[in-house]
Amino acid sequence: MDVLQVLQFLLLGTLIGILSGFFGIGGGILLTPLLLVFGYEASAAIALSLMLTLGSTTAGTISHIRLRNVNVSHALWIGLFGIVGTWIATPLVFYLEGVDGATLIISLVYIALLTYFAVSFFRSKQHVEGSVGTDSVPRLGIIGVFAGFISSLMGVSGGFVLTPLQVKLLNTEMKRAVGTSITAALLIVLSGVISYTVAGAETNYLHGLALIAGAMIGSPFGAKQLQRFSSQHVKKALGGFYITVAISVGLNLIGWNTASLALLVTLALLFIVTLLIRPRKK
């Protein structure tokens, strides 16, 4: 056992966990492209990323429930529909890997979705949370299936699409969308981990456990910091985060691996520093 590698994955999980708790995302949105830069096979990178997100979504769910940021009914509906999406995507990933197309397709999907949602956040106006009743179940179902499919296709929690879709389709206030997103993502990620394990994905489970432990350390800290920022600030920050990751994925796609890695590391460090030095919201 390489103790140094385990400690590195523990630290990585902690840093990504902080981002996860703050933005209501599982963390795989950073880890999957990072592991692809390091040369991991797509299925192995996705399986590890889903293990990380299992830790971050578990800790994040507990934190956001305590902070009363969760619409439990919406989270359960989205999570249950999301399970369907995960089992659709997993065999597709193994097929794409078999024809050497997984990395290209996953990267292009990353770039397209991240760019779209980033632009939508930058253009959005502040609004009051709306009232959505039982007629929202079809919309919750669409959101859940899509997020579940994306989760297992890209090794993410699905939170990076769950949050903006709740804001856009359900008129959910940003902080409530973040908490509900990460809670629904817990069910989606658990299903994804099971589906990849059943499918026989080859990965280092010791590294995965280190990522889970780190995420459970970092995620509560990130969730707590969310209270210091207005919803509009969170939207703009999340838009900038998405754009930066999209650029990083694009750099990796054209072979600029070092630049891609440097951009991801710089993004994470700048965000952590901002959380530490920013004064509390008045």
pLDDT tens per residue across span 53-86:
787 778 778 888 888 888 888 989 998 998 888 8
Integer Cα distance of 178 and 171 in angstroms: 13
Element containing residue 276 per DSSP (H, E): helix 257-277
First to last CA, the chain: 49
Report which residue type is found at 30: L
Q: Note the pLDDT tens digit of each residue in 84-113.
A: 888 888 788 778 777 777 778 878 887 888
pTM for the whole thing? Answer: 0.67
pLDDT grade, residue 131 (50/70/90)? very low
pLDDT in the model for residue 43 = 76
Q: Note the pLDDT tens digit of each residue in 212-222.
A: 888 888 878 87
Domain of residue 183: give its range: 3-277
Number of domains in the chain: 1
Q: How many residues does the chain have?
A: 282
Q: Return the residue matching tokens 């589906």.
A: 195
Helix axes 42-66, 137-154, angle to 10 degrees: 140
Domain membership flag for residue 47: yes
pLDDT in the model for residue 24 = 64
Domain membership flag for residue 282: no
Domain membership flag for residue 24: yes
* Residue 84 burial (10 A CB sphere; 0-12, 13-18, 19+): middle
Integer Cα distance of 190 and 266 in angstroms: 30
pLDDT in the model for residue 282 = 47
Is it the case that residue 251 has pLDDT exceeding 50? yes
How many degrees, rounded to 5, is the angle at CA 3 between CA 46 and CA 208?
20
Domain membership flag for residue 86: yes
Are residues 166 and 206 in contact, defined by beta-carbon separation less than 8 angstroms?
A: no
Mean pLDDT to the nearest integer, 8-12: 84
Domain membership flag for residue 54: yes
Integer Cα distance of 117 and 229 in angstroms: 20
Domain membership flag for residue 11: yes
Structure tokens at 261: 């890695």
